[in-house]
Amino acid sequence: MQKQKNYKDDAPSYLIEFLNYTATVKGRSENTIKSYYDDLKQYFRFLKQKHGLASGMDFAEIKIADLSEDIIKNSGLNDALEFLHFISSERGNNAKSRARRAVAMRQFYKYLTYYKAWFSVSPLDRLEMPSLKKPLPKHLTYEQAIELLGVIPEINSFIDARDFCILTLFLNCGMRLGELVGLNTTDYKQERDFETGEPVHTMRVTGKGSKERVIYLNSACVDALNIYNDERMKFISNNKSLFGEKALFLSQKKSRITARHVERVVEKALKKAGLDGMGFSPHKLRHTAATLMFQNGVDVRVLKEVLGHENLGTTQIYTHVANKQVKEAMDKNPLGGNLKKK
């Protein structure tokens, strides 16, 4: 059997060390590591081309495993800027792609500075990110969210209970798709408040970079989960092979539900609600939860914890959503165009 090619097969040792460090110490996902490799591979190819080490070769065919440490040690900000100009003018990379590659380069040089001591100060500390226009997050209105939840008016089966519970958690908790798919039965807890004795329901969620956070569940989530868990137990009792299955959300094939399956659940519900073809998705349901919470008075710092954002700046996009809606409301005031002119 032919050995499957590993993306690290064509990489110098210091790049492999950086990728391993990023995965193990920084806890980045495999997708992030692959992205860093792809971005830095483009940069390394550019350096080989610049130093005359790839004469006559097609850019996409340039190997990087033999790029010497000396070239990296003698590279710096000007090389990075030239590379970003090259991928824009010669490779057609847009601002988003250039920004992603710039992030990879900054992280790489930071590692070389602080962990390998190749530089006293990172050469890319002053590298500015290409400016990006951030679109406001698309979301459902409150009325549309109610319509979406209403597409399953009665729970008549395991599938009904599961799909309703999925929609409820998305719209109330603002979970990411991967977070919902990864939920286990043991993540759902019911405890009692130490002071009041009232029941407190929580869900432990594993987010980006394997970081865990606890989400407090409202009554809508608790009701949906209780109904689903009843149906789930019936489903398991009729399928003995599922005994001990820890995944919270199961497919009819008796295994953990996949991300694509959840996307289809959402797509089907959107179509039933007459909301298909409008660009909505599971991630847009996350935006909906966040926007509705912010509109109803949830502080942006609290919202940051609910959503599992690392930086407050990421969460502040929802303040822009609210500001835009306030402006639109003012513009729609029928008195807005009746100012008397002299």
286: annotated active-site residue: yes
Residues 6+ apart with CB under 8 A from 6: none
Helix-helix angle 282-295:317-331, to 10 degrees: 70
**51 counts as catalytic:** no
DSSP for residue 12:
-
Burial class of 49 by CB neighbour count within 10 A (0 to 12, 13 to 18, 19+)? middle
Residue of 143, 168, 136, 146 lying closest to 287 (CA atoms): 136
Assess whether 26 carries a catalytic annotation. no
Q: What is the dihedral of CA 69, 72, 74, 78, to 10 degrees?
A: 170
DSSP secondary structure string for all residues of 230-251: HHHHHHHHT-GGGTT--BSSB-
Catalytic position from the list 208, 256, 272, 284: 208
Candidate list 14, 109, 188, 318, residue with the active-site label: 318
User: What is the distance between the alpha carbons of residues 336 and 316, in angstroms, rounded to a whole number?
Assistant: 29
Give the Cα separation of 109 and 25 in Å (integer): 16
* Planar angle of CA 152, 188, 163, nearest 5 degrees: 15
Q: Is 309 annotated in the active site?
A: yes
- Taking the C-alpha atoms of residue 3 and residue 5, their distance in angstroms, rounded to an integer, is 6
> Which of 212, 207, 158, 203 has the alpha carbon at shortest distance from 185?
203
Q: Is 283 a catalytic residue?
A: yes
Catalytic residue among 28, 48, 176, 304: 176
Residues 130, 13: Cα–Cα separation, whole Å: 29
Question: Is 208 noted as a catalytic residue in this protein?
Answer: yes
Q: What residues are labeled active site?
A: 176, 208, 283, 286, 309, 318
